[in-house]
Amino acid sequence: MRIGVPTEIKKLEHRVGMTPDSVLELTRLGHEVRVQSNAGLGIDFTDEQYEAAGATIVPSAEAAYDAELIIKVKEPQLAECEMLSQGQTLFTYLHLAADKPQAEALERSGAMCIAYETVTGDTGGLPLLRPMSEVAGRMSVQVGAWCLEKAQGGRGTLLGGVPGVGAGEVVILGGGVSGFNAAQMAVGLHADVTLFDVSINRLEELDALFKNQVQTVYSTKGAVADAIARADLVIGAVLVPGGAAPKLVTKEMLGIMKPGAVLVDIAIDQGGCFETSHATTHDDPIYEIDGIVHYCVANMPGAVPRTSTFALNNRTLPHIVNLAELGTKEALRQDKHLRAGLNVAEGWITHEAVARDLGMKFKPAEDLI
C-alpha cells in the first residue's frame, strides 16, 4: 500500500503522523511510505532519517496526499480536505462534533475517515485518545500554574503554597484519563485538589488511588458551583466520546469565582466544557472574561510535540499496519474497535454522536464496509 505522511499545517503544530521507526515497520513489510519534506523537522526528525527508514521524501502536500492511506495528527484543514477523494483513507484526530465545516468537507470528499479519538479498546476506553489525554491532563496543571501568575492576569497564587501559607485550590471536572493525570500533577505540587465525576464507581476508584490526597465529589450543578467559587484553578476534563462536551460552567457562574482565577479547558477540541470557551493557539493562549483567565488551546499536546508524537505512535502503529496489510474495509470488518473509529465514509457520517450533534445524515459503518 502507498502511505502518505504530510506536514501538519495547523498553527504551531510540530507533531508528525509517523516517526522514522514507525515508517521502518511499514517499509519492512513492503509498503511505500511518502513523507513530505521536513514533516518531522520540528521535533528533530530529518528527511535523511526518514530515507534511512525506507521512506520516499516528497516535496509537497499534494504528493504526500497521493496515497491510499494518509496518516496525520490533527484534523485536516479545509484546504487539506480538498486533496482527499473516494478510495482514500484518512487516519488522524478529527473531533468533528465541534467542526461542521470540516465534517461537510470530509463528507464531500468521499474518503474513509477514521478518527483516533473514537477508536475503542479491548478493555474499554479510547486507547488512541489516551496518550494525548495523559499529556493534556499533565500539562493542564503546568499551564494553569503559569496562568495564575500575576503577569498573566492571574491571582498571583502559588499552587503548592509555602510553609505558613495555604495551598491553591484546584477543581477538576471529570475523572477520566485527563482528569486523573491532572490530579496526579496537582497533588505532586501539593495543591488542595477536588475532583468531580458523575460515576460513583469511578469516584470510588479515584478515592482508593489518591487516598486522602484528593477530595472526590459527585458532580451536580450545585456542588460544582460551590467548588468553583472557592477555586484558584478549574480544569475542564469532561469527555463525551465523539460528541460535543457539555457546558458545565456558564458565563453567569464566572461572577461567583475569585478575581484572577483560571479556567483551563482540556475539552476545547470537542467544543469546550465552559460556556465562555473559544479555541486559542500556543502563541496567543489566554484571554480574560469577567476577570477570569481562560486557557483554551485546541492542540495542547502540540506544545510538547516530541513526547506527544512518540506516545501517539506507540498506540497508532498496530492499526496502521493492519490497515496497510488488510486494506481499509477488511481491517474495519475484522476489528470492531477500529470500526468504532470510522466517522465519515463514502459521503456519510458513520458515527452516531457526531451526526446527532451536527444534525447531519447518519449511516452505520457496517452498511458501508
Closest CA to 170 of 178, 160, 162: 160
Are 312 and 74 in contact by the 8 Å Cβ rule? The answer is no
Q: Is 351 a catalytic residue?
A: no
* Cβ atoms within 10 Å, residue 366: 12
C-alpha cell read off for 343: 466517522
Active site annotation includes 122: no
Strand-pairing partners, residue 114, are 91, 342
**The dihedral of CA 214, 220, 223, 226: what is its sign?**
positive
Residues 35 and 53 sit within 8 Å (Cβ to Cβ):
no
Catalytic-labelled residue, pool 269, 294, 335, 351? 269
Q: Which of 14, 95, 319, 351 is catalytic?
A: 95
Cα separation, 37 vs 57, in Å, equals: 6
Pairing of strands 286-289, 233-236: unpaired
Q: Which of 68, 72, 107 is nearest to 93 (CA)?
A: 72
What cell does 291 get?
476577570
- Residues with catalytic annotation? 95, 269
